[in-house]
Amino acid sequence: MVHAALLAGMHKVCFAEPWNEAAMAGMLAMPGSYGFLAAAADRPQGFILCRSAADEAEVLTLLVLPGERRHGLAKALLAEALAKAQSGGAASMFLEVAANNQAALALYTGLGFLQVGRRPRYYGGQTDALILRKALVQPGGAW
C-alpha cells in the first residue's frame, strides 16, 4: 500500500500548488483510482495517479523527481497507466496540463495525446490549462 504522506512529499517537490497528505489520501481513496510508483533500490523516483470511470480514464497527476528526469520514467509510468486503463475497458484517457509546461506537453503529444479543449487562466488565475485526450483501442467483436 502506497502512503499518501510519501506521495504528498514528492508532489511538494514538483508542483507550485502541491496536494497535501489529506488531499492525496482523498485521491487514493476515490473509487476507480489506481497508480504506479517508480522506485530504484527502495528510492522513490516518480509516480502516476489515475482514475477510471465508465469508459473514460483520467490522469490525476504525474511527476518524476528532478534528479530522476530524462531517463524515460514518465513515459514508462504513462505507458503502464494507459495499458491498465485500456485493459479495464476505457475508450479514452484524458488529462489537464498547463499550456506553458513544455516538458509535459512534449511527453504527452509524443505518446499520441491530442488537444481537445482549453480552460483559460485555470492555473493560479493566469495560465491556461489544456485538455488532452488519447483514444484507446478496444478489441472489437469477432467477424
Nearer to ligand COA, 3 or 75 (CB): 75
The least distance separating ligand COA from the CB of residue 3, rounded to whole angstroms, comes to 19
The least distance separating ligand COA from the CB of residue 58, rounded to whole angstroms, comes to 12
Nearer to ligand COA, 66 or 140 (CB): 66
Nearer to ligand COA, 126 or 138 (CB): 126
DSSP per-residue codes, the chain? ---HHHHHHHHHHH-SS---HHHHHHHHHSTTEEEEEEEETTEEEEEEEEEEETTEEEEEEEEE-GGGTTSSHHHHHHHHHHHHHHHTT-SEEEEEEETT-HHHHHHHHHTT-EEEEEEEEEETTTEEEEEEEEE-PPP----
The least distance separating ligand COA from the CB of residue 133, rounded to whole angstroms, comes to 14
Beta-ladder partners of 46: 38, 64
Angle at which helix 73-87 crosses helix 102-110, to 10 degrees, equals 50
The least distance separating ligand COA from the CB of residue 70, rounded to whole angstroms, comes to 5
Nearer to ligand COA, 48 or 136 (CB): 48
Nearer to ligand COA, 70 or 140 (CB): 70
The least distance separating ligand COA from the CB of residue 26, rounded to whole angstroms, comes to 19
Chain contacts with ligand COA (rule: CB under 6 A): 14, 62-64, 69-75, 97, 101-104, 106-107, 110
